Amino acid sequence: MDLLETQPAPEDGRGEDALVEALRMGDESEFAALVRRLGGPMLRVATSICGDRVVGEDVVQETWVAVVKGLDGFEGRSTLKTWIFSVLVRRAASAVEREGRSVPFTALASAEVEAGESPVEIERFLPADHARWPHHWASPPRPWGPSEQLGSAEVRREIESAVEDLARMQRAVITLRDLTGFTAAETCRLLEMTEGNQRVLLHRARSRVRRRLERYFAGEQR
């Protein structure tokens, strides 16, 4: 699941200390490997928060500057990856605040959560006063069979488009959790949000992506 861990990398312990030391000494090949490993996921996370690819690219660039200049201050209390992403998220949050919104970044999650949203259209359930099956499915989900090619390039594009269309904080949470592989606790720390808000936003985001896939597969059948 964790895309960041799919390539062999010194993630912890002595391996990571050695990597940090090499970077401090100006080891270019280690830096290049780190950029290749984290660059893509960083751009995706920054873009999800900023809602704009070009702003995301600037944030990634700023982050590398800050990381290289801040390496001496890195104390290894978190992994290098988590530290780099915390710098990235802070920069992305500042970019969002610079857009001229009156709301501070950390207030955005609560605002989205309070807006309310149901994971499935209410019309798909029987009414509350139904004699036999109140609030049971009226229009249940049709099982996805082997013909529903979840791994196909087209489905991937549909998923990316569904994620892009989410509200900002839903998009940020699902990108950190499901696309990048951060845990719930790490995501809460990075986005400075409560565990409850994180879960609600993840729930709505996943529910929306499922609905998009359902509609996509239903359209294909026609």
List the end-to-end C-alpha distance of the chain, in Å, as a whole number: 33
53/101 with CB nearer another protein: 53
| CB 154, CB 141: distance < 8 Å | no
The reply on whether position 88 binds another protein by CB under 8 A is: no
Burial class (CB in 10 A: 0-12, 13-18, 19+), 211: middle
Residues with Cβ < 8 Å from 103, sequence gap 6 or more? 111
Q: Which is nearer to another protein, 46 or 93 (CB)?
A: 46
Q: By CB under 8 A, is residue 105 in contact with another protein?
A: no
- Which stretch, 10-18, 75-83, 155-163, 165-173, contacts another protein (CB under 8 A)? 155-163
Residue ranges in 203-222 that form contacts with another protein under rule CB under 8 A: 203, 206-207, 209-210, 213-214
- Rounded CA separation 217/214 (Å): 5
H helices present in the chain, as ranges: 13-24, 28-50, 53-70, 80-98, 105-114, 153-164, 168-174, 184-191, 195-221
The torsion angles phi and psi of 53, rounded to 5 degrees, stand at: -65, -45
Which of the stretches 13-21, 91-99, 105-113, 115-123 binds another protein when contact is defined by CB under 8 A? Answer: 115-123
Q: Does 68 bind another protein (CB under 8 A)?
A: yes
Nearer to another protein, 35 or 103 (CB): 35
Show the site string, 165-184: x = touches another protein by CB under 8 A, - = not.
Answer: ---------x---xxxx--x
Q: Does 143 bind another protein (CB under 8 A)?
A: yes
d(CA 50, CA 190): 15
Binding site for another protein (CB under 8 A): 1, 3, 26, 28, 31-32, 35-36, 39-41, 43-44, 57, 61, 64-65, 68-69, 72, 118-120, 122, 125, 134-137, 140-144, 150-151, 155-156, 159-160, 163, 174, 178-181, 184, 199, 202-203, 206-207, 209-210, 213-214
